Structure 1
């Protein structure tokens, strides 16, 4: 049944590729992966295989890859992606020796891929549970680890009709899960090789903070003022916070929208009633006279959060919030929209007081009126956010210490 589902999915991707560039890239990349392996695999080397569905999972695996690179330079790294949104951004990632797509999980694809790659160890990040790949790795005696995985009662593994597929979980050598509920759910299926290590994203945002860039244009823009940074924002987010800051010139406003298109940038500019400049057009002189700065390029947001007095992370009025931890690591209060129930870090930030949920303009106004009246409230919430990230860091150490005996045995 699983093989039939995968083949039907493959057919769907092939049809979609006629109209959808993303599907076309995924189909083409999967087909080319075997050629990439044939060209680049060094038969005399041992490979650690990291598989990430997309960019977010890559960021979770990255701290382990980079530590492995330092501690085991004799081992090479193979990095695969399922989604173009991950591969296209990180195809030139220097921390891996080979980067390619993972072909769809048919038995023939999986056998061909595993035989070509011959990994010594494999790390599948978070939600990656491919039956044929995992079964063949187990049959080949390759230790396979699930990293930063999280399980919920509603997932397919815990439904009666999916018990045959749930056997895929027994292909893992060990699980490194984010919380106790995940350990309990796996235990209910008799799976006990489980460690609660938390999420490696906390380690990653600590790394990002340490490597943050100094940005002279942002320095010139902020110039000691109170700064509100809105990251990965969407129009429903912008409608709320721009309305407030149009009436509060004592705050400097930095907007880094999720979608950087000309239409969206113009929409933001139309909403603003204060002097605004785009980052790509800015000079130290023009930003000094502006009240709002719109970041119309990528790669700066994680550093820009370091200039915030208060941060907002978008997406909570749509499909779900973006990366809260990139803001929280800087020790600032983090505001976000209501669609956050599936995000453990949002619930924990709310519980500790470092994160604040808003559902409407009135909610946002109430939060900010309180911040304006009480700088101590801003400082207290920021301290809780920083403490939360710092206390949750360390998963990478635990994971690498646990897998070290297997790594040495594979060399």
Structure 2
């Protein structure tokens, strides 16, 4: 199986290189990986003590950040290497203050794994959630280096638990301990005789809770909201934007404001979204010298401020689960104690079902369902406030994973 895996990895590498001239995202990853070893050579010295944090993409970085931040403070004399596989993580967090060097993880070949660990030689390695790379982890195990996996979530249909998944399964044993999000993941690990496992929960609960301690003020959003009820639609995709624009156009409610923050902020999509609206709207990029109070819709065509914007919401819609893309982060708005609407394709996101059960989150599939629940949340203040409180309570109940992880590491 390992032989087949290594062949497939090399084929995948070749395919990415071949496709890269035609895809800017893939091209960024290919070029970035070509520079990884040189970056490490110029940044690290053989005498440096290091920690290695690996995240697949931006979501896993945000998930691991509460732990990374604590370790950054504790190991202040160490150099921290932060690696990403996806350009969407690297490009946004390449200047992360928690790391001394941010890189793309090289393709998972035996040669790359040996070269990487020769250069980094981490005292502690932390992987977040998944992105299990057998050659890297087997080399970590061979060198008897410390490694843990945090916020892990497994499903029984994954390769680890199939007869053909021995290579991936063996890679899990490179971790001296795995912290899972839920009991079912722990049970699955124990079914393959991996027993050094704890159910700590999801570190994202700690991450979003810390947002309450920050300054979330945005003067232009406060001016736009103008003391009115505010619906914030975050990380939206076209299928969700269609529901939103249809709702807004059919209900010119002067006492409700809408903020839409699309996942794709390229000009053609933003322009199309604005054209589809029949009410007064304003773009973030054009907000200066605009009468924000007169607009009913504010379109956020920038990145990095959505979490703060959620603090102004009375109701939230979170995109991703209406189409084929994964559900975006529902915990970010939930921490502010507001009810949330999502699409119906959320089976891979256990927190979504838990929040539905807690009666703070509402799943819809079609326009009429969307209209019905949004109408109720707008018109019934008691229902809206109770639903929001249910989400706030859910966050408080589930935080604490970071403490368990740090306690294991004796920090």
Match of 1:252 in 2: 257
Match of 1:408 in 2: none
Match of 2:31 in 1: 28
Q: Distance in 2 between matches of 1:60 and 1:101?
A: 18
CA distance 1:9–1:285, change in 2 (3 Å):
closer
Q: How does 1:43-54 map to 2 (within 5 A)?
A: 43-54=46-57
Which of residues 401, 404, 408 is equivalent to 1:395? 401
Q: Distance in 2 between matches of 1:215 and 1:16?
A: 41
Tell me by how many angstroms 1:212 deviates: 4.0
Which of residues 264, 270, 276 is equivalent to 1:271? 276
Match of 1:293 in 2: 298
CA contact (8 A) 1:329 1:385 kept: yes
Query: What do residues 361-392 of structure 1 show as CA deviations (whole Å, max 9, x unaligned)?
Result: 11112112322332000000000111111211
Bigger mean CA deviation after superposition, 277-286 or 29-38: 277-286
Unpaired runs of 5+ in structure 1?
A: 406-411
Unpaired runs of 5+ in structure 2?
A: none
Match of 1:409 in 2: none
User: Aligned with 1:171: secondary structure?
Assistant: coil
TM-score with structure 2 length normalisation? 0.95
Q: Distance in 2 between matches of 1:69 and 1:138?
A: 24
Query: What do residues 322-352 of structure 1 show as CA deviations (whole Å, max 9, x unaligned)?
Result: 1111111110001011111111111111010
Q: Distance in 2 between matches of 1:259 and 1:373?
A: 31
Which of residues 385, 389, 409 is equivalent to 1:383? 389
CA contact (8 A) 1:245 1:251 kept: no
Tell me by how many angstroms 1:52 deviates: 0.8
Tell me by how many angstroms 1:285 deviates: 5.8
User: Aligned with 2:317: secondary structure?
Assistant: strand
CA contact (8 A) 1:220 1:284 kept: no
Q: Distance in 1 between matches of 2:292 and 2:20?
A: 44
CA contact (8 A) 1:217 1:284 kept: no
Q: Distance in 2 between matches of 1:109 and 1:27?
A: 14
Tell me by how many angstroms 1:284 deviates: 7.2
CA distance 1:271–1:17, change in 2 (3 Å):
closer
Match of 1:315 in 2: 320
Query: What do residues 31-58 of structure 1 show as CA deviations (whole Å, max 9, x unaligned)?
Result: 2111111111133331110011111111
Match of 1:135 in 2: 138
Q: Distance in 2 between matches of 1:175 and 1:183?
A: 9
Q: How does 1:44-193 map to 2 (within 5 A)?
A: 44-193=47-196
TM-score with structure 1 length normalisation? 0.95
Match of 1:38 in 2: 41
Tell me by how many angstroms 1:295 deviates: 1.2
How many residue pairs are counted as aligned between the two chains?
405
Tell me by how many angstroms 1:128 deviates: 2.0
Tell me by how many angstroms 1:237 deviates: 0.8
CA distance 1:59–1:188, change in 2 (3 Å):
same
CA distance 1:19–1:264, change in 2 (3 Å):
closer
Q: Distance in 1 between matches of 2:239 and 2:245?
A: 10
Bigger mean CA deviation after superposition, 125-134 or 376-385: 125-134
Tell me by how many angstroms 1:90 deviates: 1.0
Q: Does 1:353 align with 2:356?
A: no
Q: Distance in 1 between matches of 2:231 and 2:288?
A: 20
Q: Does 1:370 align with 2:373?
A: no
CA distance 1:162–1:285, change in 2 (3 Å):
closer
CA contact (8 A) 1:212 1:302 kept: no
